[in-house]
A and B are shown apart, each in its own frame.
Chain A
Amino acid sequence: SQTIHQWPATLVQPVGSPLSLECTVEGTSNPNLYWYRQAAGRGLQLLFYSVGIGQISSEVPQNLSASRPQDRQFILSSKKLLLSDSGFYLCAWAQGNYGYTFGSGTRLTVV
């Protein structure tokens, strides 16, 4: 069966520090991968998606970046965090145009 792992679960980082969030998927090959952000009490905003290794599409300009170094690994990064980067970050995978499966999320607080 397919599983998705996302870590860490919570993270507190100072302004200006770097960020690296990792997401891995098991039990499938060539999945579509997604990073979403959810601000407190609000809906989900698509940040990045990838349909293959090295293929990254950005939906919202910001100081975040994403990479897909392996087929089932998706990484969200920042060189210098801003206060506005705080939020709940969710990774998801899908096979083709079908149902999404989300990871358990990372709660990031920038202080």
Chain B
Amino acid sequence: GIQVEQSPPDLILQEGANSTLRCNFSDSVNNLQWFHQNPWGQLINLFYIPSGTKQNGRLSATTVATERYSLLYISSSQTTDSGVYFCAVGTDYKLSFGAGTTVTVRA
């Protein structure tokens, strides 16, 4: 199956800082999504981004499909940004998830 590697595994930020999360994948995909899992376990879809760049408020994402990686940018981080960020990739309806990046934003 497709291998998904996320880095870094853990990230500690001071409130207001910017950060970049990376997702590398091992094969061509036609589906790539970023999710945020809050401390209560709820998974929220942030972006559907198999290619190109998207922005939603303080979050943006870029996927370079030909080079098999995606980046998630968090700007002006807030404590509510804390949680685990997952990258998921796939084809044919199925997504394989990476191990996630645990982000802790300190006030």
Contacts and interface: CB of A to CB of B under 8 A. Distances in A.
B30 interface: yes
Give the secondary structure class of A's interface.
strand
Interface of A: 32, 36, 42-46, 49, 51, 59, 88, 90, 92, 94, 96-102, 104-105, 107
Nearest to A102: B43
Nearest to B100: A43
Contacts of A96: 93
Measured as residues with beta carbon below 8 angstroms from the partner, the interface class of chain B is 20 to 34
B48 A99 contact: yes
Given A43-B98, A44-B86, A49-B94, A99 B33 contact: yes
B57 interface: no
B45 A43 contact: no
Interface of B: 30-31, 33, 35, 41-45, 48, 86, 88, 93-100
A62 B94 CA distance: 19
Nearest to B44: A102
B93 A43 contact: no
A98 B48 contact: yes
B86 A104 contact: no
B42 A104 contact: yes
B93 A94 contact: yes
Nearest to A59: B94
A43 B97 contact: yes
A49 to B, nearest CB: 6
Most buried by A among B30, B41, B44, B96: B41
B93 to A, nearest CB: 5
B41 A42 contact: no
A88 B48 contact: no
